Amino acid sequence: MNLSPVVIAIPMYFILMAIEMIALRFQKHPGYRLNDAVTNINCGVISQVTGVFIKILSIGIYTLIYQHLAFFQIPNNVWTFFLLFFLYDFCYYWAHRMSHEINLFWGGHVVHHSSEEYNLSVALRQSSTQTIWTFFFYFPLALLGFDPVMLVLASGINLLYQFWIHTEAIDRMGFLEKFMNTPSHHRVHHGRNPKYIDKNHAGTFIIFDKWFGTFQEEEEKPTYGITTPVKSWNPVWVNLAHYSTMKEELKMIPNWSDRLRYLFNKPGWLPDYLGGYRAPKEIEDDYQKFDTVVPPSLNWYVFTQYIFVLLLTGFFLFKVDSFTWIPKVLVSVLIIWTTVSFSGVFEKRNWYLPQELVRIVAFAGVVFFLIQSLLPLPILIGILSAYSLASLFWLWKNQQLKSQIPSISL
């Protein structure tokens, strides 16, 4: 069983999001849009699913360094864990800061900033590639002799702490603002206003930003998102969009030395002969958030299907250690396929219906394969048949409504 704090806390994420929705409703704050919230959670789902494979690399190398190159053998107790947590957050600050200041690394972090809303679901909008660019920032902790198991625990708690600060429902927090990261401080970090960009990189302790000159107090309300909005609900494209832009801009640069500088300079950098650094601009007067409109029945369809997908994802993440490689890959592909399928519904893509029909059948088949030993066969077949028929009928009814709204073609 996967005992990662992040996975164990999955039910709590949704409970806290429900509480936030209620609080925002009392504050007469719009707070959530279904398409944005689902995309946020989809990015987190893909991050967790792909992390099953990527973490083998990051934790594996950390463990090798710890076993063969550590200078000390630090014992595991409460006090050394507190020290590890503080030092982990210090490493996190630099990993996070470099993810904003190095163009290639930004490709792994931009996903988290690409939502134009700011609520607890945004905390789940995590990248599938960021670990590739940041896992080595924590190797000094292995050299010092901190146990890999304790590192995973410290990492999970650090990430859990950052969940609750993604909200507009909480204002200033008095004395805590002096040394802890808070919703106010982190709202600044997610702002695309020029004065807020690349500020407040803290994970748990804001003191690192104050020590190293990257702290910014919240003043006017931030405008959230990135300077070039991704304009898509497709979580796979959200993960790839910046790399795609980099590929096109690298084609414009004729020599290899400038291409290398492009990779490791700040996002927005170009050689002088191509116009030089493109500084962030003030928010446009006519700025509007990206949005799409589908019939309410389609929103309800996605919402209902999403519950089943989240149940499958939770089951997969909890039991992942008991699966062989083939089931791991099959379930991962199905989950990622599903998240893309839902984006096709939200964006009214012409391809969404035929592939959604196939996905429903595939989903029922994979669930049957995974849990056939947990329920009597007639009951399981009956449940999955009812799910499939109800889903197909709902799609057929929705298609009649969808035909009344223009579609987006590829």
pLDDT given at position 216: 98
Residues 315 and 195 in one domain: no
Q: What is the pLDDT of residues 145-167, one digit of tens each?
A: 999 999 999 999 999 999 999 99
CA distances from 374 to 268, 348, 398 (A): 53, 37, 33
Q: Are 343 and 235 in contact (CB under 8 A)?
A: yes
∠ Cα 123 128 132 (to 5°): 115
- Is residue 116 classed as helix, strand or coil in its secondary structure? coil
Residue 381: inside a domain: yes
Q: What is the pLDDT of residues 321-358, one digit of tens each?
A: 888 888 899 999 999 999 999 999 999 898 999 999 99
Q: Which two tokens stand for residue 185?
A: 């401080």
Residues 22 and 143 in one domain: yes
Question: Which residue, of 146, 180, 212, is where some domain finishes?
Answer: 212
DSSP H helices, 296-406, are 296-319, 325-346, 352-371, 377-402
Residue 250: inside a domain: no
Residues 89 and 196 in one domain: yes
Residues 194 and 321 in one domain: no
pLDDT given at position 409: 40
Q: Left (φ > 0), alpha (ψ -120 to 50) or beta: where does 289 sit?
A: beta
Q: 281 — phi, psi (to 5°)?
A: -100, 160
Q: 408 — phi, psi (to 5°)?
A: -100, 125
CA dist., res. 182 & res. 178, Å (int): 10
Task: Please give the helix or strand (H or E) that residue 52 lies within, else none.
Answer: helix 34-69
pLDDT given at position 326: 86
Q: Cα torsion at 337, 338, 342, 344 (round to 10°)?
A: 20
94 by Cβ neighbours in 10 Å (0-12 / 13-18 / 19+) ranks as middle
Question: Which residue, of 172, 189, 212, is where some domain finishes?
Answer: 212
167 by Cβ neighbours in 10 Å (0-12 / 13-18 / 19+) ranks as buried
Residue 395: inside a domain: yes
Residues 181 and 317 in one domain: no
CA distances from 188 to 102, 166, 294 (A): 20, 11, 32
Residues 94 and 205 in one domain: yes
Residue 259: inside a domain: no
pLDDT given at position 375: 86
Residue 115: inside a domain: yes
Residue 233: inside a domain: no
| Entry pTM | 0.91
Give pLDDT tens digits along the chain (410 positions): 555 676 777 788 888 998 998 888 888 777 789 999 999 999 999 999 998 888 788 899 999 999 999 999 999 999 999 999 999 999 999 999 999 999 999 999 999 999 999 999 999 999 999 999 999 999 999 999 999 999 999 999 999 999 999 999 999 999 999 999 999 999 999 999 999 999 999 999 999 999 999 999 999 999 999 999 999 999 999 999 999 999 999 999 999 999 999 999 999 999 999 999 999 999 988 899 999 998 888 899 999 999 999 999 989 988 888 888 888 999 999 999 999 999 999 998 989 999 999 999 999 999 998 888 888 999 999 999 999 999 999 888 877 655 554 544 43
Question: Which residue, of 212, 229, 251, is where some domain finishes?
Answer: 212
Q: Write the DSSP assignment of 199-225 as a string of letters.
A: ----SSBTHHHHHHT------SPPPBS
Residues 22 and 171 in one domain: yes
pLDDT given at position 318: 85
Residue 246: inside a domain: no
Residues 31 and 162 in one domain: yes
In which domain, by residue range, is 329 found?
Answer: 296-402
Residues 64 and 183 in one domain: yes
DSSP state of 260: H
From the list 296, 309, 367, the residue with the least C-alpha distance to 342 is: 309
Residues 208 and 308 in one domain: no
Residues 57 and 153 in one domain: yes
365 by Cβ neighbours in 10 Å (0-12 / 13-18 / 19+) ranks as middle
pLDDT given at position 410: 39
Q: Write the DSSP assignment of 334-356 as a string of letters.
A: HHHHHHHHHHHHHTTBTTHHHHH
- Is residue 272 classed as helix, strand or coil in its secondary structure? helix
pLDDT given at position 403: 55
CA dist., res. 87 & res. 140, Å (int): 10
Q: Are 137 and 95 in contact (CB under 8 A)?
A: yes
Residue 266: inside a domain: no
Q: Considering its fold, how many domains does the chain have in total?
A: 2
Residues 199 and 300 in one domain: no
CA dist., res. 186 & res. 171, Å (int): 11
